Structure 1
Amino acid sequence: MGPVLVNGLPAHVLLVHFVVVLVPLTALALVACAVWPGVMARFGLALPVLALVTLVSVPVTTHAGEWLERHVTSDALVRRHTSLGDGLLPWVVALFVLAAVVWWAYRRAARATAGAAGTRGAVALPLRAVAVLLAVVAAAGACVQVYRIGDSGAKAAWHDAFSAAGPADRG
């Protein structure tokens, strides 16, 4: 499904950075586009494309993580990280679906009001309110899940790999 090694190192360690950047960026863009039609006008097709790239990055990263899981010592921290990682995909699917719906609704409204001055494709208020609410929920859920996954991954990777005091022979 994707690379498991990059230059001899586990690909998951590199790929996770794409997810950590893309998910919050997509979440922010989705909320901004759902709230402000002017922002949606500037984003255009970039919103669903960004959400699609984000969506693709998650299973690729998860696949590399599953490979890495089979090549490290399993403990409770690794299992927790893996379990949390499996929970991100539904949130990112929601971001993608909502991004496509917001983009489609904006385009539809823009075409319907093409002759009217100053409307910029304003979507009907009830539909926009629902879109904003769902976008905020999906964005918050995705960002919280990314944080939880990252925190558990850092704990799994670093829990006994450093000393807070530093080397004993400093002096």
Structure 2
Amino acid sequence: MSLTVVNGLPAHVLIVHFVVVLVPLSALAVVVGAIWPSAARRMGVVLPVLALVTLASVPLATEAGEWLEEHVDSDALVRRHAELGDGLLPWAAGLFVLATVIWWTTRRPAEAEAAPMERPRSASSRSALVVRVAAAVLSVGVAAGAVVDVYRIGDSGAKAAWHDGFSKTATGERGDNG
């Protein structure tokens, strides 16, 4: 087994499924954690670890895709898919950075957050609120960008793979005699 072929199939068509699942899952977890700190505390270190696995899966899919690109007929659709695929890594890196920031800033127990409500807000609690609001806004933006990019990449890959690979009408012939 190599990074190029798995069980006779190009590895890209298998690895890409991890990316298609992990990017939206990480995006959702990051947004939920940024908006709902108690959820981030419950997720704990799983949040940045999930985003790290997501980040690692992107270059694996890209590398396997570059190998596949060299082994198929090149056309405009394949080139467009490859170009779009090269743009996902920054989005995945953004999800990882945000997941790490959210995890780091929500590690405190809930009681420590509730106590400042009884006295005037200190400079540190105001800065923590600013960081949380900024993380939430950035999380929504990066998550949306990552998910849209995965959709665009997947759509272009499907078009590249299937644009001449099927008939819109049934041929009536089946290999299973049924």
Q: TM-score, normalised by structure 2?
A: 0.86
- Flag structure 2 segments of 5+ consecutive residues without an equivalent: 118-124
Which of 161, 168, 171 aligns to 1:164? It is 168
Q: Does 1:149 align with 2:148?
A: no
Q: Does the 8 Å contact 2:38/2:110 carry over to 1?
A: no
Query: Does the C-alpha gap of structure 1 residues 75 and 41 become closer, same or farther in structure 2, counting only changes over 3 Å?
Result: same
Query: Does the C-alpha gap of structure 1 residues 104 and 169 become closer, same or farther in structure 2, counting only changes over 3 Å?
Result: closer
* 1:62-118, Cα deviation, whole Å (9 max, x unpaired): 0000000000000000000000000000000000011111111112x4499289599
- 1:89 corresponds to which residue? 89
Which of 122, 136, 145 aligns to 1:132? It is 136
- 2:41 corresponds to which residue? 41
Instruction: Give 4+ residue runs of structure 1 displaced > 3 Å after superposition.
Output: 109-112, 114-118
> Which residue identity lines up with residue 112 of structure 2 in the other structure?
T
> Which residue identity lines up with residue 50 of structure 2 in the other structure?
L
* 1:110-153, Cα deviation, whole Å (9 max, x unpaired): 499289599xxx98322211000000000000000000000000
**C-alpha separation in 2, matches of 1:50 and 1:130:** 21
1:2-13 residue pairs with structure 2 within 5 A? 3-13=3-13
SS in 1 for 2:42: helix
Q: 1:31: Cα distance to partner?
A: 0.2
RMSD of aligned alpha carbons = 2.4
- Flag structure 1 segments of 5+ consecutive residues without an equivalent: none
Q: How many residue pairs are counted as aligned between the two chains? A: 165
**C-alpha separation in 2, matches of 1:115 and 1:152:** 48
Query: Does the C-alpha gap of structure 1 residues 169 and 56 become closer, same or farther in structure 2, counting only changes over 3 Å?
Result: closer
Identity %: 63
Q: Does the 8 Å contact 2:19/2:58 carry over to 1?
A: yes
- 2:112 corresponds to which residue? 113
Query: Does the C-alpha gap of structure 1 residues 60 and 116 become closer, same or farther in structure 2, counting only changes over 3 Å?
Result: same
**C-alpha separation in 2, matches of 1:169 and 1:143:** 39
